[in-house]
Amino acid sequence: MTAEAAVFWAFAIVTVGSAAVVVLSRTLIYSAFALLFTFFGVAGLYVLLGADFLAATQVLIYVGGILVLLLFGVMLTHKIYDLDLKTETTQLASGVIVAAGLFVILASTGLRTQWMGVPRTPGPTTAEIGRLFLGQYLLPFEVASVLLLVALIGAAMIVRRRRDA
């Protein structure tokens, strides 16, 4: 097995395995930390795919931002001494059947379809992404900043203690 293959399998197993823990674990805090491993695993896969900037962004924003937010969510919606933090799962059996079926369909689609066959030689991407942000993808870039402003206003407005007009 080549080094690349070994690294791929390592990251893939970590990613999918921890994703399973996220979805199946009875303890909420275990799910949250498993999600941490999932995000890191995905970042590793990005590096393997030659997306270095994206991997760094994944770690910074998904782990450093989104996961921290989710952990806050977990912590603030339980009493602090309630260490169990158990969550409940309903109708697991039928859910597993649906999900398994979905996986079979999607995986076989992935294997059987003829995808475009133009590979890209991996290399540093940051400069290219920067160029694209100010070139072809300028509008989405600006719209995304407006979106963040609006999300900030909306979230702050909801959480803030009531202030009258």
Partner 1 sequence: MEELQRGLALFRPEAVLTVGLLLVVVVDSIGGARRNAATRLITLASLAVALGLAFNLQASGAKGTLFSGMLVVDPLGAAFKTVLVAAGLLVVLAFTFRNSRELHGLGQGELMALVLALVLFSLLLAAANDMVMLYLALESVSITSYPMVGYLKGDRMSNEASLKYVLFGAASTGTMLYGFSLLYGMTGTTSLPAVQEFLAAGVPEANRFAIYAVTLLVLAGFGFKIAAVPFHFWCPDVYQGAPTPVTALLSVLPKAAGLAIVLRFFYGTLSVAGTGPWDLTGSINWVDLLMVVSVLTMTVGNVAALTQTNMKRLLAYSSIAHAGYLLMGVVALSDYGARGLLVYLGAYVFMNLGAFLVVTLVHLHDGTFDLRDYPGLYRRAPFLTLAMAFFLLSLVGIPPFIGFLGKLYVFAAVIEKGMGVYATIAAANAAIAAYYYFRVLKVMTIDAGNEDKPPLKLAVADQAWLAAFALANLVPIFFWSGIESWARGALVLYAGR
Partner 2 sequence: MIGLQHYLVVGAALFSLGILGLLTRRNAVNVMMSIELILNAANVNLVAFSRYAAGNMAGQLFAVFVIVVAAAEVAVALAIILTLYRLRRTPNLDEADILKG
Residues of this chain that bind partner 1 (CB under 8 A): 105-106, 109, 112-116, 118, 135-140, 143-144, 146-147, 149-151, 153-155, 157-158, 162-165
Asked if 80 touches partner 2 (CB under 8 A), the answer is no
Asked if 14 touches partner 2 (CB under 8 A), the answer is no
Min dist CB 58 to partner 2, Å, is 7
Tokens representing 95 are 């859910």
Residues 132, 53: Cα–Cα separation, whole Å: 13
Residues 138, 19: Cα–Cα separation, whole Å: 34
Binder of partner 2 out of 80, 82, 91, 165 (CB under 8 A): 91
Asked if 90 touches partner 2 (CB under 8 A), the answer is yes
Asked if 16 touches partner 2 (CB under 8 A), the answer is yes
What is the DSSP secondary-structure string of 96-129? HHHHHHHHHHHHHHHHHS------------HHHH
